[in-house]
A and B are shown apart, each in its own frame.
Chain A
Amino acid sequence: MTTLDTGTKTGTQTGTLMPPPNTASKTSAQVRTGTQEKTGGARLTASDPIYGGILDFLIDEAALLDDDRHVEWLDCLADDIVYQMPVRKTVYRRNGDGFDGRNSHWDDNRQSLGMRVKRSVDLASAFDRDPPPHIRRMVTNLIVRKTDTPGEYAAMSYMLLLRNRFDAPTYDILSAKRKDLIRRGSDGICKLARRLILLDQTALGAVFINVFM
């Protein structure tokens, strides 16, 4: 099975429902894992100050991107950041949720994210970035859990991203669950160490290359 651990139910369901057509999962190479090894810890309540600090961090981070302050956004990232948006496919229920990390829309590190930021704000010829698109990111449904590593927290949030360009009356919409690993220093400063973006779409509705989630 080539699904990532995306936190949703996978495998054959038992019960009285009609089974789907006669399909079985295809065998293929094991994929690298997401943040699942660090998601099993105790959940922090919303009243926990650490929860509040992480929520502030995610809101601030989204605001930096929305306000086109991409260079400052890079300061939110840990040096060993792993930033991935796996490809999703439409499969029958028994074959999982369709995420397949063998191929990715994004598979970035600090260096490549820096290059994308440079392209996003600093080049005269990045025509998809100038005039700047109008983008709004909504961050909600945050769940924070402890991990085995002190100071590292697994943060799962929902994101709804709206993008408008030129004088179009409509928005391009991107909706996703994000599974982050947040590293919190003793000074309370948070850095993003991993981000796994799990989209709610298989064939994306528009060209979203270079739109940070």
Chain B
Amino acid sequence: MMPLKRDSLARGTGPMLRDGTTLLDLIDLDRREVAMRVLSDPELYRLELQHIFARAWVGVAHVSELTNVGDFVVRHIGEDRVIVTRTFGGDVSVLLNVCAHRGFELCAAEEGNAASFKCPYHGWAFDGSGNLLGAPLEKEMYGDWDKSKYGLRRARVEVRAGIVFATFDTSGRSLDDWLGSAGWYIDRASHENRVPLGPPMRFHVNGNWKTFMDQGAGDNYHPLTLHRSLHEVGLLADLPGTGGSRSTFRSWNHVIIGNAEGNATFAFPPGFPTAVFDENADDFLAFEGRLFASSVFPQTVIWGPYVYPLPDGTTTTGSALWQVEPKGPDTFVMFLQNFIDRDAPEAVREVVRQSLSAQQAFVADDYEANLSLQRSARGELGRQQPLRYFAQGETTKPKGWPGPGIIFSPPQKDDGQWLFWRRWFTLMTEGAR
């Protein structure tokens, strides 16, 4: 990896906070440390919405949620609500859910079907592409007006592996550039053959969005301790030939594929038997079976494929789209959308629902970290305290590994997570130039 030199970024190029603090006062690029103030500072949070979320590509929906013309869902890019809809032309469009006239939200429901979107305030009406169709008394109010000037703000949209990605970035940066090497792995997770199990599960977490996403960018160290309950209850058996906590550590040890875009993919290494796959590891599955999850900076995590064992001894696969919707420095909403095979019968759906229910019982551990770090970051000394990422690993590619990216083989260290923080730093400073 090319180290990011402190002197390569002149002091003052990034944003400066009201008390004179700059980003370089909060992040130490040589020691790989970040002050916890970045988790709780309201000023930094506003800058993140501006420099990161308003420019990010976000996975907002699955194409199968928009089967018919007029189908819509309302989702989030940062704190902005967007309408994702299927237009008469057959495209998917993503529109800011804010009337171009006086700012009322056009859509109050989170899903439905609409031929057009009429504002409840003064009645301006828009089509699914965001074009202004008309307004009440428009001749009297506006005379011979040019309606093309008053369309809804429209995001750029790309569909990748069945997932609708959107951005309000105007620089022209493509989704491919945003995903970097993660795109190659996302393409192989077969999301286009799946449909949502149902509507997303959502709940508020009193933590900072970065705490969740940073863990998802390669923290294979925490399961050993934070998820110990999984082992205590017997859900994860220790693997043969190893003992105690070491095997617990090993059982979570994926290959982590990081990239400069701050995205990380987790995959099972070759030759590694896992709880869900055949133990004849060398020939157990096609490469797709090794994929576990890809995080896409800053708001999206794409999981899968999961393998669900069925009562008749066969298996089915599913995947998931998670979003971490920021709601201020101290809160985010977890958005969990699960996918199953398109033709899965109700009996299979039931198995998947029950399996996910049990999974959630133990994912509860992760939110404890979000809540606790947020409490820690409240104090003056707490916000000065650094989060440390100094454990550096090798960038070795397992033999025969087919995919791109910066590949870290087990045992895992802090490198994937540090790439996340470098991306955060880059976007925050880039945006202020």
Residues of A in contact with B (beta carbons under 8 Å apart): 2, 21-27, 29, 32, 87, 89-92, 95, 100-109, 112, 115-116, 118-119, 123-128, 202-210
- The answer to whether A32 and B350 touch (CB under 8 A), given A116-B361, A125-B228, A127-B368, is yes
Q: Are A109 and B364 in contact (CB under 8 A)?
A: no
Q: Report the separation of the CA atoms of residues A68 and B372 in the bound assembly, to the nearest whole angstrom.
A: 23
Which of chain B's residues have a CB closer than 8 A to the CB of A202? Answer: 110, 202
A-B contact count (CB 8 A): 144
B72 — nearest CB in chain A belongs to which residue? A23
Q: Are B118 and A21 in contact (CB under 8 A)?
A: yes
Which of chain A's residues have a CB closer than 8 A to the CB of B153? Answer: none
Residues of B in contact with A (beta carbons under 8 Å apart): 68, 71, 107-118, 120, 196-206, 225-229, 232-233, 235, 333, 338, 346, 349-350, 353-354, 356-358, 360-365, 367-368, 371
A127 — nearest CB in chain B belongs to which residue? B368
Q: Are A95 and B354 in contact (CB under 8 A)?
A: no
Which of chain B's residues have a CB closer than 8 A to the CB of A21? Answer: 107, 114, 117-118, 120
A-B contact pairs, 19 of them (CB 8 A): A22-B114, A23-B112, A23-B114, A87-B200, A90-B109, A92-B108, A92-B112, A100-B198, A102-B198, A108-B357, A112-B358, A112-B361, A115-B358, A124-B228, A125-B229, A204-B202, A204-B203, A207-B203, A209-B363
Q: How far is the CB of A175 from chain B (nearest CB, A)?
A: 14
Q: How far is the CB of A110 from chain B (nearest CB, A)?
A: 12
Closest 6 CB pairs of A and B: A103-B198, A102-B198, A204-B203, A125-B228, A23-B112, A203-B202
Interface of B, secondary structure class, is mixed
Q: How far is the CB of A201 from chain B (nearest CB, A)?
A: 9
Q: How far is the CB of B359 from chain A (nearest CB, A)?
A: 10
Q: Are A91 and B371 in contact (CB under 8 A)?
A: no
Q: Are B118 and A209 in contact (CB under 8 A)?
A: no
Q: Are A123 and B350 in contact (CB under 8 A)?
A: no
Q: Report the separation of the CA atoms of residues A95 and B71 in the bound assembly, to the nearest whole angstrom.
A: 13
Q: Are B201 and A23 in contact (CB under 8 A)?
A: no
Q: Report the separation of the CA atoms of residues A90 and B109 in the bound assembly, to the nearest whole angstrom.
A: 5
- The answer to whether A115 and B113 touch (CB under 8 A), given A22-B118, A202-B202, A203-B333, is no
Q: Report the separation of the CA atoms of residues A64 and B113 in the bound assembly, to the nearest whole angstrom.
A: 45
Q: Are B229 and A119 in contact (CB under 8 A)?
A: yes
Query: Given contacts A23-B109, A204-B202, could you give 7 more A-B pairs where the C-beta distance is less than 8 Å?
Result: A87-B198, A91-B110, A101-B198, A103-B199, A108-B357, A128-B368, A209-B360
- The answer to whether A92 and B197 touch (CB under 8 A), given A203-B333, A207-B367, is no
Q: Are A95 and B197 in contact (CB under 8 A)?
A: no
Q: Are A24 and B113 in contact (CB under 8 A)?
A: yes
Select which of A90, A100, A119 is within 8 A of B233 by beta carbon: A119
Q: Report the separation of the CA atoms of residues A204 and B225 in the bound assembly, to the nearest whole angstrom.
A: 27
Q: Are A103 and B364 in contact (CB under 8 A)?
A: no
Q: Are A102 and B115 in contact (CB under 8 A)?
A: no
Select which of A91, A103, A126 is within 8 A of B197 by beta carbon: A103
